[in-house]
Amino acid sequence: MTALAPVLAIEGLKTYIHLKRGVVRAVDGVDLTVGAGETLGLVGESGSGKSMTGLSILRLLPKGAGKIVAGSIRLDGEELTTLPEKVLARDVRGRRVAMIAQDPMTSLNPVFSIGDQVSGPFRYHGGLPRQEARAAAIDVLQRVRIPSPEKRLGDYPHQFSGGQRQRIVTAMAIGRGPRLLIADEPTTALDVTIQAQMIALLRRLQQESGAGIILITHDLGVAASLCNRIAVMYAGRIVETGPVREVFRNPAHPYTRALLAAIPKLGSRGRRLVAIPGQPPSLIDPPAGCRFAARCPLKVSACDAYPQTTAVGPNHSVACWRAGEAV
Q: Which residues are at the interface with another protein (CB under 8 A)?
A: 45-46, 145, 161-164, 191-197, 199-201, 218-225, 227, 244-245, 248, 258-260, 262-277, 279-280
The least distance separating another protein from the CB of residue 225, rounded to whole angstroms, comes to 4
CB nearer another protein, residue 92 or residue 227: 227
Backbone angles phi, psi at 144, to 5 degrees: -95, 15
Give the span between the Cα atoms of 327 and 101, in whole angstroms.
38
The least distance separating another protein from the CB of residue 9, rounded to whole angstroms, comes to 24
The least distance separating another protein from the CB of residue 292, rounded to whole angstroms, comes to 10
Of the candidates 280, 324, 285, 321, the residue with the CA atom closest to the CA atom of residue 301? 321
Give the span between the Cα atoms of 7 and 76, in whole angstroms.
5
Q: 235 in helix, strand or coil? A: coil
Of the candidates 267, 243, 242, the residue with the CA atom closest to the CA atom of residue 320? 242
DSSP E strand boundaries for the chain: 6-19, 22-35, 39-43, 66-75, 78-79, 97-100, 180-184, 212-217, 229-234, 237-243, 309-313, 316-319
CB nearer another protein, residue 72 or residue 188: 188
CB nearer another protein, residue 68 or residue 276: 276
CB nearer another protein, residue 129 or residue 264: 264
CB nearer another protein, residue 60 or residue 261: 261
Give the span between the Cα atoms of 13 and 235, in whole angstroms.
14
The least distance separating another protein from the CB of residue 272, rounded to whole angstroms, comes to 6
CB nearer another protein, residue 89 or residue 194: 194
The least distance separating another protein from the CB of residue 242, rounded to whole angstroms, comes to 11
Of the candidates 283, 238, 286, the residue with the CA atom closest to the CA atom of residue 18? 283
The least distance separating another protein from the CB of residue 167, rounded to whole angstroms, comes to 11
Straight-line distance from the first to the last Cα atom of the chain, in angstroms, rounded to the nearest whole number = 29
Give the span between the Cα atoms of 262 and 45, in whole angstroms.
13
The least distance separating another protein from the CB of residue 177, rounded to whole angstroms, comes to 23
Contact 262, 274 (CB under 8 A): yes
CB nearer another protein, residue 80 or residue 189: 189
CB nearer another protein, residue 194 or residue 312: 194
Amino acid at 197: Q
Burial profile 194-231: b = 16 or more Cβ within 10 angstroms, e = fewer: bbebbbebbeebbeebebbbbbbbebbebbebbbbbbb
Give the span between the Cα atoms of 100 and 174, in whole angstroms.
9
The least distance separating another protein from the CB of residue 11, rounded to whole angstroms, comes to 27
